Structure 1
Amino acid sequence: MTPIISLSHVDYAYPNSETLALHDLSLTIEKGEWVAVIGHNGSGKSTFAKLLNYLLAPTKGEIKINDVIANEENMWTIRDMVGMVFQNPDNQFVGATVADDVAFGMENRGIVREEMIKRVDAALTEVQMMPFSDREPARLSGGQKQRVAIASVLALQPKILILDEATAMLDPKGRREMIALVRELKARMGSELTVISITHDIDEAASADRVMVINDGELIETGVPSDIFANAAQLRRFGLAVPFAEQLKEKLRQRGITVPDEYLTTEGLVTWLWQSISTK
């Protein structure tokens, strides 16, 4: 299978910086994958995301999106394939109403009105925001704003959706709803949509098919969430949060209680605890 994203020995240095933000980054992402990219602040996660959409150009190396080389000549082709949702949705709103905002990107691309109307309705329905189509974006909650931002990207029918810290400004309920929404989108669209989450949120990362850990501009580990999050000591070494369930397991071990070695989600640990208590 041909990867939808391929990076080969990519470096990136910001102007006037002596330190590389990304160093010798080589990786592939398959079509239809949901990949979470985690790392401490300043590790290079958002730089990586901006390279994929050609908001930044690599200092060295090659990036291919759906077998198209990311360069100035192919810039608009790349941006048609890669949609981004950023941390603050207010920075992406330009329309007077929710529907206007979702239509804005298509207007810039010269899509005919009849097609635009269909896509606006379909995208808002996809994110469960159709009842708010005539609402002013400023009057929405944070979670609703992010749903509209996702709809604006989906209306352009990208192959890749990048969530760049898209849950960072939401409250816990809003984060859970966003993660559930992405999970539903992936379930419905399958291999037609590849998702990349740039995130600090462990629950968001745990929902992905695969996790990549970037530290000081280098890819240091990649694997399924259960493998990545089972190593609490390594997560701390790279300045990352340890999932609550793993913290609790560590405390239980310190009290002499034997706990499962494998990674458990919070729900999984609750189930294990309940079963353990029930058998005593």
Structure 2
Amino acid sequence: MVMQPIIEFKDVSFSYPNAEQPALKNLSLQIQKGDWVAVIGHNGSGKSTFAKLINYLLIPTSGSITVDGIPVDQEHVYDIRDLVGMVFQNPDNQFVGATVADDVAFGLENRQVPREKMLEIVPDALERVQMNAYAAREPARLSGGQKQRVAIASVLAVEPKVLILDEATSMLDPKGRREMIALVHELKQELGAELTVLSITHDIDEAASADEVVILNDGELMGVDKPEVIFSDAERLRRLGLAVPFAEQLKAKLKARGIKVPETYQTTEGMAEWIWQLHSKM
């Protein structure tokens, strides 16, 4: 039996008012349930437009989008927003509660969840992101990484099937980015196929953690493949205005010095392990 994709774009185009070129051009793409998909591309490639179309924050100029088989349109907008939760670049723009717990409860209140049930859901959502100890804290007093954890907890509280991270790590320092990626890994391990993650990102390490990588370039789909395939083609990445992973840069420099390097894609950790093994044989 062929499984229905959790997200499907069919010939979708979108143009901003007065723009010379469309932000997305006849995009057709399927995202499977339970996958973690990273969407990469240079600034202006259409990544954030793509994300906002899924949640009906933008309306396609042409084409159709479905989430879990439900059309993304005005008639089904509330169903779609129950299915799709978004965490944006600046979490301060999402906070509405006086405390962390209030903020996580906000989406539940809008859905008229009984108070007794909310008292169970809010601590559970905060526990999942290791922020239960901050329930009474004002969101403004949290660090950037803590704010993003609360934003994720607010989304998880309403049990979406799709979590969209729209440049959610871009304002964090390297340690904060690593912690966010580790948190998403933990959530995926816990929820499995019940949660599909869509990561809109410039961060190569974040994208390399995904199951699949989508490349957008000037509104067009340029490729969909496993991270190890996408990131092993350094020349193509440069042509598309994308960063080359550090491990691939290192491999190129070692190869230029006559050192035989692994032919397959390596993460930074994998490359460090390979160098250690090489050094131990010398």
Q: TM-score, normalised by structure 1?
A: 0.99
RMSD: 0.6
Match in the other structure for 1:154: 156
**Which deviates more from structure 2 when the two are superposed, residues 104-113 or residues 25-34?**
104-113
Match in the other structure for 1:79: 81
Match in the other structure for 1:144: 146
Match in the other structure for 1:198: 200
User: How far apart are the structure 1 equivalents of 2:111 and 2:232?
Assistant: 45
* Pair 1:24-2:26 in alignment: yes
Alignment of structure 1 residues 49-128 onto 2, 5 Å? 49-128=51-130
| Pick aligned residue for 1:260 from 255, 262, 279 | 262
User: How far apart are the structure 1 equivalents of 2:66 and 2:240?
Assistant: 28
Q: Deviations over 1:54-112 (max 9, x none)?
A: 00011000100000011111111111100000000011111111000000111112111
1:73 alignment partner, SS class: helix
- Paired letter, 2:17: P
What are the ranges of 5 or more consecutive residues in structure 1 without an aligned counterpart?
none
User: How far apart are the structure 2 equivalents of 1:122 and 1:236?
Assistant: 43
1:274, distance to aligned residue in structure 2 (A) = 1.0
User: How far apart are the structure 2 equivalents of 1:125 and 1:97?
Assistant: 16
Match in the other structure for 2:272: 270
Q: TM-score, normalised by structure 2?
A: 0.98
Match in the other structure for 1:165: 167
- Paired letter, 1:12: F
Match in the other structure for 1:12: 14
- Paired letter, 1:124: L
User: How far apart are the structure 1 equivalents of 2:98 and 2:32?
Assistant: 37
1:278, distance to aligned residue in structure 2 (A) = 1.2
- Paired letter, 1:132: Y
Match in the other structure for 1:215: 217
Q: Which consecutive aligned stretches of 4+ in structure 1 deviate over 2 angstroms post-superposition?
A: none
State the aligned residue count: 280
2:262 alignment partner, SS class: coil
- Paired letter, 1:130: N
- Paired letter, 2:183: L
* Pair 1:174-2:176 in alignment: yes
1:96 alignment partner, SS class: coil
User: How far apart are the structure 2 equivalents of 1:148 and 1:15?
Assistant: 34
